[in-house]
Amino acid sequence: MTEIIDGNEVAQGIRDGLVAGIDDLTAAGTTPCLATVLMNNDPASQTYVSMKHKDCEEVGIATRDIELDPEAPAAELFDTVDELNADPEVHGILVQMPLPDHVDEREVLRRIDPAKDVDGFHPENVGRLVAGNARFKPCTPHGVQKLLAAADVETEGADAVVVGRSNIVGKPMANLLIQKADGGNATTTVCHSRTDDLEAKLRAADIVIAAAGVPEMITGDMLSADTVVIDVGINRVETDEGSELVGDVDFESAKPKAKAITPVPGGVGPMTRAMLLWNTVKAASAESGVDVRLP
Ligand SMILES: Nc1nc2c(c(=O)[nH]1)N[C@@H](CN(C=O)c1ccc(C(=O)N[C@@H](CCC(=O)O)C(=O)O)cc1)CN2
């Protein structure tokens, strides 16, 4: 019987597991605080940011909610980041992606204080992750690791295939899977739009992480029996009945082939949010010197 890995349930467990540490930090005079900066009018981004704030409120993390006009000059965003970097009450800074075309994303990410970079996208933090000494693991791949662990999926010795090579998911995911650490030690192949014979690579995989951003591109006939399938894609598509969210995996055809599979929605998305809280608590703990146990 195929296991459906419930991301909402695993994320709730992470949030519950953070509360004691947040209470300890707050009692010691440091309430963890996440600042989000939104500079686009995309309804999906607005939803994600408001969900992040709601999650923070549930566990006792304070928030700052900054919205900038998408047409404002890039300097306004840089100034905002500088102010948040200098604010001792802010422990985590998240600039919601995507940014408007006139803003250089790399320049923004370089500007965030690496100790407050709870997305883990600053070059210093990317370098630390690659070197096996991560400060903040990027939230989506970290969430995938937690989902695999919750489903008792052994990565050590497994053949893992990551489909997608983005800086946010594909590259850090592959790096985590090859680390000499829990949730790593997998033999990892990264596939992308120029990969020859993707199907052969997928059929040879024990674990498939789909993060290509192409709706339902991976179908059941491309998979071997008993593959673990983690679907990172979150694509809004139009249907006769309106619009719906689908993953990069065609869930209905993949489910009977898979040993375990994540749904969309309710799979990786909630974990991305939960691991953002995790990183914010880690940042507050490091800044205050108060050690807390992280779930
Ligand atoms: N600064 C960042 N920007 C973006 C990131 C990121 O990690 N950091 N990732 C993505 C989007 N993302 C986070 O912001 C994100 C996507 C989806 C969800 C989520 O909870 N999805 C739900 C469905 C929500 C809905 O109903 O629309 C689910 O899958 O169940 C959370 C976060 C791009 N930008």
Burial class (CB in 10 A: 0-12, 13-18, 19+), 291: exposed
User: For each of the chain's 295 residues, which pLDDT tens digit applies?
Assistant: 999 999 999 999 999 999 999 999 999 999 999 999 999 999 999 999 999 999 999 999 999 999 999 999 999 999 999 999 999 999 999 999 999 999 999 999 999 999 999 999 999 999 999 999 999 999 999 999 999 999 999 999 999 999 999 999 999 999 999 999 999 999 999 999 999 999 999 999 999 999 999 999 999 999 999 999 999 999 999 999 899 999 999 999 999 999 999 999 999 999 999 999 999 999 999 999 999 999 9
CA 152 to chain centre: 20
Same domain as 205, residue 106: no
Same domain as 45, residue 81: yes
Same domain as 254, residue 276: no
Contact 41 CB / ligand 1 (< 6 Å): no
11 lies in a domain? no
Same domain as 77, residue 33: yes
Q: Which two three-digit tokens encode residue 11?
A: 């994320």
74 lies in a domain? yes
Same domain as 233, residue 169: yes
CATH of the domain at 169: 3.40.50.720
Ligand-binding annotation for 165, yes or no, is yes
Query: Domain containing 32: what range?
Result: 20-132+271-288
Ligand-binding annotation for 110, yes or no, is no
As a whole-number percent, the residues of the chain with pLDDT over 70 amount to 100
1 lies in a domain? no
143 lies in a domain? no
Residue-level pLDDT at 109: 98
207 lies in a domain? yes
The Cβ of residue 158 has, within 10 Å, a number of other Cβ atoms equal to 17
Residue-level pLDDT at 26: 98
What ipTM goes with this model? 0.98
229 lies in a domain? yes
Same domain as 85, residue 111: yes
Q: CA end-to-end span of the chain, whole Å? A: 29
| Residues noted as catalytic | 52, 96, 119
Same domain as 280, residue 254: no
Cβ pair 33, 91 in contact under 8 A: yes
Structural domains counted in the chain: 2
238 lies in a domain? yes
Same domain as 161, residue 76: no
Ligand 1, atom nearest to 119 Cα:
8
75 lies in a domain? yes
CATH of the domain at 86: 3.40.50.10860
Same domain as 201, residue 179: yes
Same domain as 67, residue 168: no
Q: What's the CA-to-centroid distance between 269 and ligand 1, angstroms?
A: 5
Report pTM.
0.98
Residue-level pLDDT at 123: 98
